[in-house]
A and B are shown apart, each in its own frame.
Chain A
Amino acid sequence: MLYVRHTVGSRLFFETNEYQIKPVDNEWEISFSADKESANNLLQFHDELNIFHVEGEHQKTWYYSSEGIVHFDKGNNTISIFADHKTVYPV
């Protein structure tokens, strides 16, 4: 499952089990579908997003983009977040 949350107080923007996380050099392109309104709302907070990838009950992976690089492809209704930070931690 993938969760996209605000850095202040963890307000949830997206929760989806349909996503892609593609390593690109030392970064990660995280993509998922979104409608235009939700995407525009997310883009307002592009530099204050934490992305959590949860697989199983015992660990989470935290990603973020230090430069706030988030793109919305209107043709495909796809958001792509280009993360340059990744931390795996136990829960």
Chain B
Amino acid sequence: MIQHTPSTKRFTAENDWLVSNFSFSFGPYYDPDNTNFGPLRVLNDDIIQPGKGFGIHPHREAEIVSIVLKGQLKHEDSLNNVGILQFGDIQRMTAGTGVLHSEFNPTSDEETHILQLWFMPNEKQLTPSYEDISFDPKKLTNQLLPIVSTNGGDHVARIHQDLTMYLSKVDAGKEIQFEQQVGRKIYLFVIEGSFTINEEVTLNERDDARITELHEITLQAKQDSFILLIDLPGGEE
């Protein structure tokens, strides 16, 4: 089954320094039928104005992944990690028993565009930790490049959940295939472009698809496309 959610169905929260589009219940937006897809609980698509950001705040019991699409993101946390991320960098933070952090756009003249995803951890009360990795953007072309996985690896962040996140830039007219194991699910998010899934469903920019009970999908790009695919546990929802 493919459940398609157009970008226009997302909840938008906006103030003078932030525009945030929520794919799942978050903050003031609460829909009991849209709180998660398997362990995926949050996908926020944020635009942060120059010099602005999220001040010190706590998190717990979440695996948080940030993907910088444009501009820069400065991170500081109570584990003494400080870093500036840009496109090609991925940040994974295990909040576990509790971590304090801040996230800012450190520039004076450029917006920061990020995707931030939260997953339920596979274990409670984990020791908080932080990791950032870099991938080679050239390796995104017409293939699924793993960026986060259970076991991690070279240029792949390690997450405390049974999942793999992939990014891919697919040229118009090209196809990529993904085979899924029985009992697992797939989450797809279109960062840019437009493509079809199994010639059935067309996804456009910032749409998502929540896929269950399909063991093979073919993504055909109608335009040059940039996609996020997440292989997730569980197939019942």
Which of A's residues lie within 8 Å of B, judged by CB?
7-11, 48, 50, 62, 64, 66, 85, 87, 89-91
- Interface 1/0s, chain B 21-33, versus A by CB < 8 A? 0100111111000
- The verdict on B60 contacting chain A, using a C-beta distance below 8 Å, is yes
Known A8-B41, A9-B25; contact A91-B58, beta-carbon cutoff 8 A: no
| Least distance between A83 CB and chain B CB atoms (Å) | 12
* CB neighbours of B28 from chain A (8 A): 9, 11
30 A-B pairs within 8 Å (CB atoms) are namely A7-B59, A7-B60, A7-B61, A7-B62, A8-B25, A8-B26, A8-B35, A8-B41, A8-B118, A9-B26, A9-B27, A9-B29, A9-B42, A10-B57, A11-B28, A11-B30, A48-B61, A50-B60, A66-B97, A66-B124, A66-B125, A85-B60, A85-B98, A87-B58, A87-B98, A87-B100, A89-B56, A89-B58, A89-B100, A91-B56
On chain A, the residues within 8 Å of B57 by CB distance are: 10
| Distance A25 CA – B196 CA, assembled complex (angstroms) | 59
CB A27 to nearest CB in B, in angstroms, measures: 15
Interface residues on B, range: 20 to 34
Residues of B within 8 A of A87 (CB): 58, 98, 100
B51 near A: Cβ within 8 Å?
no
Contacts of A10 in B (CB 8 A): 27, 57
- Indicate which residue in A11, A48, A50 contacts B58 across the interface (CB closer than 8 Å): A50
**Which residues of chain B in 1-59 are interfacial with respect to chain A, using CB atoms and an 8 Å cutoff?**
22, 25-30, 35, 41-42, 55-59
Q: Tell me the nearest residue of chain A to B13, going by C-beta.
A: A9
Q: Whole-angstrom distance between the alpha carbons of A10 and B55 in the complex? A: 14
Chain A residues within an 8 Å CB radius of B78: 89
Interface pairs A-B: 6 shortest CB-CB: A9-B26, A9-B27, A62-B58, A89-B100, A8-B41, A89-B56
Q: Is there an interface contact between B55 and A91, defined as CB atoms closer than 8 Å?
A: yes
Question: Across the interface, do A8 and B56 meet the contact criterion of CB distance under 8 Å?
Answer: no
